Structure 1
């Protein structure tokens, strides 16, 4: 699974990204993940299966969906804040299932 995380600047999401990488590895699932800011996602989204948006930029979700055409959803504020990897993983898997349906 290839996940692109989009946030305001890529900094706080980098912390979450590291937690996610560790959790996925513990689950025995291969994960390719990158955190970028709003100004960068249009340059790299084609390399990823799904796009997950940080809650601080959820107001741009519609735009991100339209520009990427990828399954895309906002990570809940609470899950994001505490790094709730099981819930974030469930959201990612739900989005990823849309990739298989579409393609």
Structure 2
């Protein structure tokens, strides 16, 4: 292996939540990793597809991003996910990583 510059290598005990729910159209199974890494943004992992994203409240405003990330075709499905993500996000404010 060639030389590489390690940016971080951290161990952390984290809280993980697993949530399965169904809407009128779809079933969802998510793992949510609550961490202090990545400026406190939780990592949402779709257990069905393996697709994941670090999300904060501002990310929920960009439904195109959510539709692309989680491969959602329907506006109602993304609205349902936004409602779930809003409930699952911590209430503490997020600081932007880069300006």
Query: Which range, TM-score by smaller chain?
Result: under 0.3
| Bigger CA radius of gyration | 2
Structure richer in strand, relative to its length = 2
Larger RCO: 1 or 2 (CA < 8 Å, sep 6+)? 1
